[in-house]
C-alpha cells in the first residue's frame, strides 16, 4: 500500500487525479456547508438567471440555485457509483473465487450465467427495469452492480485458477484446511489486487451511466439534485440559459477525469504485464 501511495504521489497525472478526487470527496462530505441555497428551494421569479453573486452558477427553470444543486449532486454521483462498484466487487469476488477454485460443471454454469448477464446491453436493461419499477436510487445501484459484476467475476476467476496451483494452496489442502478458509485466507488476498484496478477504472463509467439515466428521466427521482438532471433541464433551455449545461457538464467531466487518471496509474503499477521491471 505504501508503494502504491508513493507511486500515486510521484506521478504528476496521478497526483492531479488524487487532488481532483479528494476535492470532490470534500465537496460531497461538506455539501451542506458549501451550498449557498437549499438545492430544492424554488424561486419562480428568479428562473433561468445567469451566474451572479447571489447565484454563482445561475438558476434553473424553477429558480433553484444551480451551484447548490451541483454541490449536492456530488453526493448522488459518488453514492451511486461507489455503492454500485461495491455490489459488483462483492458479487465478482464471491462468484469468481468459487468458479475458479471448484471448476467442473459449477464453473461452466457460472460462465454461462456471466455470459447471459453480459449479453444484455446495460443501458437498455436499466431502462426496461426502471420503466417497470419506477426511478429509485436503490434500484439504480442494484442494476449497475449486477450488470457490471460479470467482468469482476471473470477477472477473479482467472486469478484464482492461476493462484490455486501454487504450493501453499496445495499444502493447505493436504493439511485438511477447509475450502472456505482456503478461499478467504489464502486465495482472496492474492486475487483482490486486479479488482481494485478494475474498480478504479469503472467508477467514472458508472458516474456517467447514472448521469445518462438521469438525463433520460430514469435516474434518481426528482427533485433530488443530480448532475444528469441538471444537464437534462439545461438542454431544454440551452439557447437562453446555457450555464446549466456548461457547469453540469464541467463537473461531470472533472470527476471522471480524476478517477480515470488515478485508475490508469494504478493499472500501470499493479498490472504485472504493464510493469517495466524484470
pLDDT of residue 87: 92
As given in the structure block, the three cell numbers for residue 153 are 467475476
Predicted pLDDT at 198: 83
- Cα 263 versus chain centre, distance: 12
How many domains does one find in the chain?
Answer: 1
Which domain does 60 fall in, by range?
A: 2-274
- The pLDDT of residue 83 is 92
Query: Residue 58's pLDDT is what?
Result: 86
pLDDT at 72: 92
pLDDT in tens, the chain (278 residues): 666 666 666 777 778 888 888 999 999 999 999 988 888 888 888 888 888 888 888 888 888 889 999 999 999 888 888 999 999 999 999 898 888 888 788 888 888 888 888 888 888 888 888 888 877 788 888 888 888 888 899 888 888 888 877 777 778 777 777 778 878 887 888 888 788 878 888 888 888 888 888 888 787 877 888 888 888 888 888 888 888 899 988 998 998 888 888 877 777 666 555 454 43
pLDDT of residue 273: 52
- Looking at residue 8, its pLDDT comes to 65
pLDDT value of position 16: 85
Backbone φ and ψ for 108, nearest 5 degrees, come out as: -65, -40
Give me the pLDDT at residue 168, please: 77
**CATH no. for residue 130?**
1.10.3720.10
pTM of the model: 0.83
Amino acid at each position: 500500500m505504501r508503494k502504491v501511495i508513493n507511486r500515486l504521489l510521484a506521478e504528476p497525472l496521478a497526483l492531479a487525479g488524487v487532488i481532483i478526487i479528494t476535492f470532490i470527496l470534500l465537496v460531497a462530505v461538506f455539501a451542506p456547508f458549501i451550498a449557498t441555497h437549499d438545492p430544492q428551494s424554488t424561486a419562480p421569479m428568479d428562473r433561468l438567471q445567469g451566474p451572479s453573486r447571489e447565484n454563482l452558477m445561475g438558476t434553473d427553470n424553477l429558480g433553484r440555485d444551480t451551484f447548490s444543486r451541483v454541490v449536492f449532486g456530488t453526493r448522488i454521483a459518488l453514492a451511486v457509483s461507489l455503492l454500485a462498484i461495491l455490489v459488483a466487487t462483492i458479487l465478482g469476488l464471491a462468484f469468481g473465487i468459487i468458479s475458479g477454485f471448484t471448476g467442473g460443471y459449477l464453473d461452466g454454469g457460472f460462465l454461462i450465467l456471466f455470459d447471459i448477464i453480459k449479453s444484455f446491453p446495460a443501458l437498455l436493461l436499466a431502462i426496461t427495469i426502471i420503466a417497470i419499477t419506477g426511478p429509485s436510487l436503490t434500484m439504480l445501484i442494484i442494476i449497475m452492480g449486477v450488470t457490471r459484476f460479470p467482468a469482476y467475476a471473470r477477472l477473479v476467476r482467472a486469478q484464482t485458477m492461476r493462484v490455486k496451483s501454487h504450493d501453499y494452496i496445495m499444502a493447505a489442502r493436504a493439511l485438511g484446511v477447509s475450502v472456505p478458509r482456503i478461499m478467504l485466507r489464502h486465495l482472496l488476498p492474492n486475487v483482490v489486487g486486479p479488482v481494485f484496478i478494475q474498480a478504479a477504472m469503472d467508477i467514472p463509467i458508472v458516474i456517467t451511466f447514472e448521469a445518462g439515466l438521469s438525463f433520460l428521466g430514469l435516474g434518481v427521482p426528482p427533485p433530488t439534485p443530480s448532475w444528469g438532471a441538471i444537464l437534462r433541464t439545461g438542454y431544454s433551455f440551452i439557447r437562453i440559459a446555457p450555464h446549466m449545461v456548461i457547469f453540469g457538464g464541467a463537473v461531470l467531466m472533472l470527476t471522471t477525469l480524476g478517477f480515470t487518471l488515478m485508475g490508469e496509474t494504478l493499472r500501470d503499477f499493479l498490472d504485472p504485464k504493464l510493469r517495466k521491471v524484470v
